[in-house]
Amino acid sequence: MAEAKNRPISPHMQIWRWGPAMFLSILHRITGDGLALVGLAVLLWWLYAVAGGAATYETFAAHAGAWYGKVVLVGLSWAFFSHLATGLRHLVLDIGAGFELKINNTWSILTPLLALAATVVFWAVIALN
């Protein structure tokens, strides 16, 4: 009975090995939090600017068009596409498909790459217009 006190009572970080699926799960949570905090703040600022009139909107547009504003907007769009892609991956897992280790690792690696590609395509389309 004395040796039972020294064992972890649940799976611990010493047991789990880092892998693509674990990284993707953490990334999904980070992008969700980023969208909720930063995305909501930008959305509320934009709504305030639209309701505030031309001068208020020009101030918003000046900040959004500056280099730091573009970094925030590109980051938000990447977070959106990343969160969307990982959410779709989880949906596939929820229906019982893709649990095989090789398939799961493959999709765990492809998902952030697809999100990055979607972000590039999205901003390329915006740049063309």
Dihedral of CA atoms 93, 96, 100, 106 in degrees, nearest 10, equals -30
Q: Phi, psi (5° rounding) for residue 11? A: -55, 135
What global pTM score does this model have?
0.84
Between 1.20.1300.10, 3.40.640.10, 3.90.79.10, 3.30.360.10, what CATH number should domain 20-128 receive? Answer: 1.20.1300.10
- Per-residue confidence in pLDDT tens, the chain, 129 aa: 555 567 666 666 667 778 898 899 999 999 999 999 999 999 999 999 999 999 999 999 999 999 999 999 999 999 999 999 999 999 999 999 988 989 999 999 999 999 999 999 999 999 998
Sequence ranges of the domains in the chain: 20-128
Buried b (16+ CB within 10 A) or exposed e, 92-109: eeeeeeeeeeeebeebbe
The C-alpha atoms of residue 62 and residue 105 are separated, in whole angstroms, by 43
